[in-house]
Amino acid sequence: MNTFSTLQSILISDPLRALWMLLTNVKFALALVFAAVFSGLLGVLIPQIPPEARENTVARAAWLELKHLDFGVWFEFLNALALFDVFHSAWFISLWFVVVVSVTVCTVSRFMPVWRSIHRPQKIVPDSYFEKASHRTKFSYTGEINVVEDKLKRLRYTVEQVEGDTGIPGAKYLFAQRFSWAQYGTFISHLALLMLLLGGLLTALAGDSRTLSLSEKRSAVPLFRDPGPGQIFVEMLDAVKGVDSDGHIIDFRSKFMVRRGDENILCEATVNDPCDAYGYRFHQAAFFDDLALFSITNPEGKLLFEDVLDFENQVALVPVISVIARDGQVLFDEAVPQMATIESAAGMTALAELNLRNGSYTISWRLPSQDNSAENMKVTITGPDLSATELFVGESLSSNLYEVTFKNPLLVPAINVLDMPGVSNEKVTVQLMKDRWGSDYLYVIGLRSDGEGLVLPIDTTWSSEDGFSFTFLERVDGSGIDVRRDPGDTFIWIAIVLGLLGLGITFYIPRRRLWVSFTRSQIFIAGIAPRSIRFEQELRKLGQAITGQSDTQSNEFEDD
Amino acid sequence: MANLPDEQPQRRREYSGPFTTLGIALVVILIVGFVFWFFELRTGGGSNNIKADNFGVIEQEGDFDPESQPAVASLGRLAPNFRLPNAHGEVIKLSDLRGRYVLLNFWASWCGPCRAEVRDLSELSDRFPEVLTVLGINQQEVSEIVIAFKSQFSVSYPLLLDFRGQVSSTYAISTGLPVSLLIDQKGVIREIYWGALSEEQYEYLIMTYLL
């Protein structure tokens, strides 16, 4: 009976067995994996219906019509195969369903043979096996069987004397094995694959990930777009940049409150140490220290704006200047804000002014065209008692009254705000500065009608001629919090551990199984070991150790 | 008589009947189903099951179908109809604005060019209140942000909340904001502007459609 007719008869008499044969067929498994990978590739290459449009038939139809215009005559064909929604198509889900079933069936089907082989091994083999085994050897020996048994035990084999099969007169038999449990390695590897699939499935179906930008002093931010009783709110209490005694950043961490209904969970999270709340994991993902809490009220006292002014990582290049009087008094020692810029053919130049005892000093410096690189930055200082003098970093100049030093360049948060409420100018420029005592202040250009810059220290209000009031409430910190839910991750971690364990056991635990037959003058040894091991060599050495001879023969050089 | 031993038992697969082989596979699938239910469905999964119903893209209303073709966000085609709320819960339906020009402006508070063109859009809305409605459609931001934005920039036209991004997706808007579409009195898309409108585009729009 050929294979086809055997298969046909099984299909008719026992369809479930035929199904089992299909699911455990290696070629079928490879075909499934190839199909799954190819489908995934199609899903990446062909535009897919956005999730928000999929749930609405009208939106879906409108989106598909858009693709109809793009793909022309190919549209009907691609749409009929659900290739615009590969990952949610019935055939794709069915494919993965079959993969999971196939791996499950394979894993289950391997368990019993492995278990039986370990716990109820075949201890008796036919005498012919000693002539046919893949790994075998024979040698002359007239000693006692106990010597062989002891030798094997010293090699960490478990050994027992067994009855022979056909009963050659006077023949004795041994069964020995070492690390037989290592056969579980393959089963464990399959189990790992199954766990990996299940973990991936759970992650894909029930996983969620989003990032919240939260700043201190602001009200709680909802986690989900849609309102409802399951909504979770997150309120930033304290965003911290940890620095050591040398000023080096050592960590970023955030303390925040997570609320759902009446329940509150106080969380503290860092990049590597997340906080878990309501099934979600909150990680520190980013840190912002360039936020200013700012408010504007109209002439009637109505609050127009009270929010965080986010400098969005935009910066301005400024010099830190110190001015020391001849009597040793420090008159100025801090960063100088950009008060104006001049554009010329040579590029942009920033200007600032320092008002000292004897008048006003002008400081100018060239702004880099591409980035804020402060390399080779130089400032030019002009004053009542000074002609234009250039200073590089670290250089000083002396006038009759002062010693002026360009200490270092500095990048300070700076942003252009368009259409600020209560301001007639279209654009207002805000720089977040620190004075020599470390206090923050805002330097704002565009508020004053005379065009001059305005220094706005913390908790200070400035009122315009039109009656609008501007207050810099405080500088605040903020964090980007990565919020994830991944119910599959436990499965995936277990799968990784199992996978490493299974492969390690399979490849590195030297499992062996031996059958030994004694006749009056000869010993025959046949055995099983992983293919990667040179078992014949081991068997030859074993024979030499038992007999003290060097002429044992293995099947490598036997002429059968 | 003994058989020859199985030299690779770890590779062997054994059919022990439908219950112990195929049956166990079924049990695994049931466990997966249970776990999925436990994490995702039992408590609403922490995500919100209560959707802002009826918001998003909706069927066309009335017998308007001037092009006799399905609605799609493309020039010369009927604009997909939608129903969206503003930050205070007032709802606007696109089809209710038939008979007027509608300028849909897709925006987000984080988008610099969107902020830059708000003043011009407000002026346009204020200048042609009889014939034009400007609708700002915010991309998936919370209502607090939209309220703050409206106040900060003194926006004079309605700002609608596309919570789930469904309308934006249907109009093929990705993160390349702003995008504006001019829809005529019959609901047909006449212009699509990628990026902020230039002065020339404003002028053309006014001269061609609004005056």
Chain A residues in contact with B154 (beta carbon < 8 A) = 419, 421
Alpha carbons within 13 angstroms on the beta-carbon side of residue A525 total: 31
- B147 close contact with A: CB closer than 8 A: no
Query: Are B21 and A231 a contacting pair at CB < 8 A?
Result: no
For residue B115, tell me if it sits in a domain.
Answer: yes
CA distance B112 to chain A (A): 9
pLDDT at B43 > cutoff 60: no
Bond from prior residue into B178 cis (ω within 30 degrees of 0): yes
pLDDT at A406 > cutoff 90: yes
Chain B residues in contact with A231 (beta carbon < 8 A) = 48
pLDDT of A352-374, one tens digit each? 998 887 788 999 998 876 555 66
More confident residue, B163 or A453: A453
- B4 close contact with A: CB closer than 8 A: yes
Domain end residue (candidates: B29, B44, B59): B44
**Which residues, in sequence order, are bridge partners of residue A478?**
A215, A288
pLDDT of A193-212, one tens digit each? 888 888 887 787 777 888 88
ipTM score for this prediction: 0.79
Segment B142-155 mean pLDDT: 80
Query: Are B5 and A232 a contacting pair at CB < 8 A?
Result: no
Instruction: Calculate the CA B157 to chain-centre distance.
Output: 20
Do residue B113 and residue B39 come from a single domain? Answer: no
Chain A residues in contact with B104 (beta carbon < 8 A) = none
For residue B123, tell me if it sits in a domain.
Answer: yes
Do residue B121 and residue B32 come from a single domain? Answer: no
- Which residue reads 């305005």 in tokens? A454
Domain boundaries, position B135: 70-210
For residue B187, tell me if it sits in a domain.
Answer: yes
pLDDT of A440-495, one tens digit each? 999 999 888 888 899 999 999 999 988 999 999 988 888 989 998 888 888 899 99
Residue-wise DSSP of A16-70: HHHHHHHHT-HHHHHHHHHHHHHHHHHHHHS----HHHHT-HHHHHHHHHHHHHH
* Closest in B18, B32, B73 to A16, CB measured: B18
Map out the domains of chain A as residue ranges. 3-117, 121-179+510-554, 185-206+487-505, 208-289+481-485, 299-467
CA distance B121 to B182: 12
* Closest in B46, B72, B118 to A279, CB measured: B46
- B172 close contact with A: CB closer than 8 A: yes
CA distance B5 to A483: 56
**Pick from A189, A146, A138: which is nearest to A554 by CA?**
A138
Q: Which residue of B has its CA nearest to A308?
A: B148
Q: What is the pLDDT of residue A558?
A: 39
A495 membership: H or E segment, kind and range:
helix A489-508
Chain A residues in contact with B152 (beta carbon < 8 A) = 304-305, 307, 419-421
CA distance A504 to A523: 34
Query: Are B9 and A113 a contacting pair at CB < 8 A?
Result: yes
What DSSP character marks residue B157?
S
Q: What is the pLDDT of residue B70?
A: 83
Query: Is CATH 1.20.1510 correct for A121-179+510-554?
Result: no
Model's pTM, two decimal places?
0.60
For residue B134, tell me if it sits in a domain.
Answer: yes
**Band of the pLDDT at B131, cuts 50, 70, 90?**
very high
Q: What is the mean pLDDT of chain A?
A: 85
CA distance A519 to A2: 42
Question: What is the torsional sign of CA A55, A58, A59, A61?
Answer: positive
pLDDT at A538 > cutoff 80: yes
For residue B52, tell me if it sits in a domain.
Answer: no
Q: What is the pLDDT of residue B66?
A: 58
CB contact at 8 A, B205 and B183 = no
CA distance A432 to chain B (A): 20
For residue B171, tell me if it sits in a domain.
Answer: yes
Domain end residue (candidates: B44, B61, B79): B44
For residue B10, tell me if it sits in a domain.
Answer: no
Segment B160-189 mean pLDDT: 88
- Which residue reads 């399905």 in tokens? B70
- B199 close contact with A: CB closer than 8 A: no
Total tally of structural domains belonging to chain B: 2
**Residue A525 buriedness (CB in 10 A; 0-12 / 13-18 / 19+):** buried
Domain end residue (candidates: B8, B28, B44): B44
pLDDT at A243 > cutoff 90: no
